[in-house]
Structure 1
Amino acid sequence: MKQQKKSFGVLVLAAGKGTRMRSKTPKVLHTVLEEPILYYPLKAAQSAGFSESAVVVGFGGEAVSSWLESEFPKSEIIWQREQKGTAHAAKLAQRWWSSFDNVMILAGDAPLVTPETLSLFAARHKEEKKACSFLSFDLDDPTGYGRVIRGRGGVSVVEHKDATEEQRAIKEVNSGMYIFDSEALASVIDKISPRNAQGEYYLPDALSLIEEEGGSVDAIKSDAPDEFLGVNDQLQLAKAASVMRDRIVKSLMLNNGMHCMDPRSVWIGPKVKVGRDVTIHPSVQLWGDTVVEDGAFIGSFTVLKNSTVRANANLKGSVRLNDSTVGERASAGPFAFMREHAELLVNAHVGRFVEIKKSKVGKDSKVPHLSYIGDAEIGENTNIGAGTITCNYDGEKKNTTKIGRDCFVGSDTMFVAPVTVGDDVSTAAGSVITQDIPDGALGVARARQTNIEGWSRRRRHKMNK
């Protein structure tokens, strides 16, 4: 019994070197808002409901494949060892796309296409039963783009380098995004030749070949040209990031009620989740899998990556969070740094010039200023005095400091880990704590003060002789 084909597969072409990027990094791994360019077309297709995808890799393919295996493990990887053009790439993937009724082909260096556009594109192609549909758009300056030629004989595309002067005057251009009936593409893919200025196998040549065989081709013009911005150099990369930033911030302001007084200075990545009634001041960056819950406040010059800010928390400004959590109604900053799964629990506070590394600060506890807390656990309602340091590294390994609840740690205390401090403990300012302190005790570990009467006066007299 013949196996029924699936309706759509998405093939992303990502083998190009990107010479104009002037970089050793494969073009599709350059980042837009901290995510590789390639993330965006794959995610758009996934969000549009297309679950089957494959990616053609070439230059820097090992790095691209490694990223795909981590981020899009269900995508099939197809190698194009020699970059001989888009039709050549499609030919190498023929075994894969032959299992679908239709194959959508996207450019791996075009990060701005939306799921909505891809959904409408597929629906129209299927509704009109075309052998091939492709997206087009108008550009005031179409230099470098393939021109869309419409005539009585149908629709075709001529690459810029092969176009006549009359054709180059056309403003409608090819986006490089296609949907082919798989059987129609299979019937012409081997007929495409490299007889052109670049000596490459061009996928647009399939359009006229399909029409010659009686198939119908349609160019579906979009009124959103920004969606088809390709990235070929660093300036275009920056432009793409700016467009995506504006799109994300606008959506959060309109749909989530995010208050943002200077949207153009705020940078938010595509994976970030923001709740209701969040306030973000100018010059803030939110990256990776960051989550900001309802009612939180994010002050200026704060940078968060893969971190969580719970409801009604307050980041007062110039705060850095990496892989860390600020609890509900907790506060941090200004000039605080939390990293490696540091956590503030409910209503805890970390203040000026404090670094928290791989530590937990308990409910209602405070580390107000000028302290380093590393590999530590602090209980509830404990106050850590200025200048406190957990000396966690002994030259070979990291050691843990445990401080109980209701403690008062005097300024300039050093805890030489491993050390455990019980509940309701105080330490004298300037102490170097090397031993455990039991519940309810005062820890004092410093030299006894000696006052030498008249010493300063005698010294001054001696210097003036």
Structure 2
Amino acid sequence: MSNAVIILAAGKGTRMQSDLPKVLHAVAGAPMLVHTMRSGEGIDAQRTIVVAGHGADLVEKAALDYNPDAQVVLQTEQLGTGHAVDQARTALSDFEGDVFILYGDTPFITHKTLQSMKNKRDSGASVVVLGFTAANAGGYGRLILADDGSLDAIVEAKDATPEQLKVNFCNSGVICAPRDVLFDLIAKVGNDNANGEYYLTDIVALARDAGMTCAAVSCDESETMGVNSRVDLAVAESTFQFNARHAAMINGATLTAPETVFFAYDTIIGRDVIVEPNVVFGPDVTIESGANIRAFSHLEGCHVSKDAIIGPYARLRPGAEIGDGAKVGNFVEVKNALVAEGAKLNHLSYIGDAEVGKDANIGAGTITCNYDGVFKHKTIIGERAFIGSNSALVAPVRVGDDAMTGSGSVITHDVPDGDLALGRAKQVNKVGFALRLMNKLKAAKAAKKKD
């Protein structure tokens, strides 16, 4: 049976003290909304509906940037979770299958957990609710189970009896039900409560009254973490990083100081990768097996092939493609450039909008002058080329295979294969001039002191 996801993302999040909609605050380099959308991908959701409200234009842009096939619907009035879900009724009118209700500020629900809910639906339950065993149940709604293990009711803490308050199996708010069942039940939800709101949780009682079977599935409490403040956001970041570091090491990477390494939401790390201290991975980074990411490096939007060495103190920017066994060393920045197998960029260089050939050597202080103030231009460095230290390659320009540039050269024209290019002024030595000049300056300084 097909799956759809409705993500509730209409809240303002006043406790965030921010002009940015709550669901757009980032964890591990991506808005929380994106994390929730990724959860839906794990169950192969054919439809994704995002219910927006506060900052709807920004929420819509973030949703469509990540998934252009997502649909965004508007909740113009904040009348409760049941009302929010009902805004997706029209968008899903032609859909047949199960619908999962997720939350844009609850970013850590796993694919495995959603699949467990799906399995329970496939076993015959009409409504499936995700619960968790709380360390401190406090004000959470309680999931009350019947003697046969089915879900009998969701009871809010303020309405619970003393006996029910002893239950620590709590409601996460995540629900799965067939589309027709879900919207039929929501149509029956009333707002006869202190807040005058339509609560999604009421559908459980309505389903039971109609003779339907309801079920609860349990997950770890950390999955259900909601983010409502900057403090919560910091806890969420810490939780994500702990889990990502642990997963990387379990899968065969070495992190010599795990607590100092920061991953993005989509970082991919191969086996036998070594990550030294104080490395930051931005979004869209893949590191293949055997690579070494040395200390204090920053990577984003790049691909590092097997056995390459990056850093220390290197920066790889979007579009950097580093070949097998290549080296990008101390204080080297690479942007939108292909660095081929075995090439070396070891010291203090900037390589942007370029191709560096196999086994080429880029001397310290080399820069590709790729920007003329309006347009970007490309530099091509051939295989086994040797670029002398402190060279400036003014793009568009090509340095051929086995070619060389002299140290300190400014290269403005193509260098044919095998040639040596010198682009600097002829050196002239002025006999004795340095000594005479220094003596003159010292005398002037002494005279100034006397004055």
Specify the TM-score bucket, using the shorter chain as the normaliser: 0.7 to 0.9
TM-aligned CA distance change 1:96 to 1:378, over 3 Å: same
User: Once structures 1 and 2 are overlaid, which stretch shifts more, 152-161 or 301-310?
Assistant: 152-161
Post-superposition offset of 1:34: 0.8
The yes-or-no answer on 1:384 pairing with 2:387 is yes
How big is each residue's C-alpha offset from its partner over 1:222-264, in whole Å with a ceiling of 9 and x where there is no partner? 3x11111111112222222222223333333223x21222223
The TM-score normalised by the length of structure 1 is: 0.85
Structure 1 residue matching 2:348: 3-state secondary structure: strand
Is this contact kept in 1: 2:27–2:265, CA < 8 A? Answer: no
Structure 2 residue aligned with 1:258, among 241, 247, 253?
253
How big is each residue's C-alpha offset from its partner over 1:295-321, in whole Å with a ceiling of 9 and x where there is no partner? 111101111111011111111311110
Q: How does 1:429-448 map to 2 (within 5 A)?
A: 431-432=423-424, 445-446=425-426, 448=428
Structure 1 residue aligned with 2:243, among 243, 247, 263?
247
The yes-or-no answer on 1:204 pairing with 2:201 is yes
The yes-or-no answer on 1:459 pairing with 2:427 is no
Is this contact kept in 2: 1:157–1:207, CA < 8 A? Answer: yes
TM-aligned CA distance change 1:87 to 1:460, over 3 Å: closer
Counterpart residue type for residue 231 of structure 1: V
* Separation in 2, partners of 1:76, 1:456: 75
* Separation in 1, partners of 2:85, 2:358: 58
* Separation in 2, partners of 1:168, 1:373: 67
How big is each residue's C-alpha offset from its partner over 1:122-180, in whole Å with a ceiling of 9 and x where there is no partner? 111220x2231101112122345323344689632244566677755542221110012
Structure 2 residue matching 1:38: 3-state secondary structure: helix
The yes-or-no answer on 1:346 pairing with 2:327 is no
Structure 2 residue aligned with 1:188, among 168, 185, 190?
185
* Separation in 2, partners of 1:458, 1:50: 81
Post-superposition offset of 1:382: 2.3
Structure 2 residue aligned with 1:26, among 21, 34, 37?
21
Structure 1 residue aligned with 2:222, among 214, 226, 234?
226
Counterpart residue type for residue 126 of structure 2: A
How big is each residue's C-alpha offset from its partner over 1:109-128, in whole Å with a ceiling of 9 and x where there is no partner? 2111111111111111220x
Structure 2 residue aligned with 1:420, among 414, 418, 425?
414
TM-aligned CA distance change 1:101 to 1:401, over 3 Å: closer
Match of 1:59 in 2: 54
Match of 1:396 in 2: none
Match of 1:108 in 2: 104
Is this contact kept in 1: 2:151–2:216, CA < 8 A? Answer: no
Q: Could you tell me which runs of 5 or more consecutive residues in structure 2 were left unpaired when the two chains were aligned.
A: 371-378
Aligned residues: CA RMSD: 2.6
Structure 1 residue aligned with 2:279, among 272, 278, 284?
284
* Separation in 1, partners of 2:136, 2:157: 12
* Separation in 2, partners of 1:179, 1:209: 15
Q: Could you tell me which runs of 5 or more consecutive residues in structure 1 were left unpaired when the two chains were aligned.
A: 1-5, 393-398, 433-444
Is this contact kept in 2: 1:12–1:53, CA < 8 A? Answer: yes
How big is each residue's C-alpha offset from its partner over 1:53-90, in whole Å with a ceiling of 9 and x where there is no partner? 22212222212212222221222222112222110011
Q: How many residues align?
A: 433
Is this contact kept in 1: 2:404–2:419, CA < 8 A? Answer: yes
* Separation in 1, partners of 2:39, 2:129: 17
* Separation in 1, partners of 2:2, 2:316: 44
Structure 1 residue matching 2:90: 3-state secondary structure: helix
Structure 2 residue matching 1:347: 3-state secondary structure: coil
* Separation in 1, partners of 2:299, 2:115: 33
Match of 2:313 in 1: 318
* Separation in 2, partners of 1:155, 1:354: 66
TM-aligned CA distance change 1:322 to 1:462, over 3 Å: closer
Counterpart residue type for residue 424 of structure 1: G
TM-aligned CA distance change 1:116 to 1:458, over 3 Å: closer
The yes-or-no answer on 1:80 pairing with 2:75 is yes
The TM-score normalised by the length of structure 2 is: 0.87
TM-aligned CA distance change 1:213 to 1:401, over 3 Å: same
Counterpart residue type for residue 382 of structure 1: A
Match of 2:231 in 1: 235
The sequence identity of aligned pairs, in percent, is 30
* Separation in 2, partners of 1:319, 1:10: 41
Counterpart residue type for residue 48 of structure 1: I
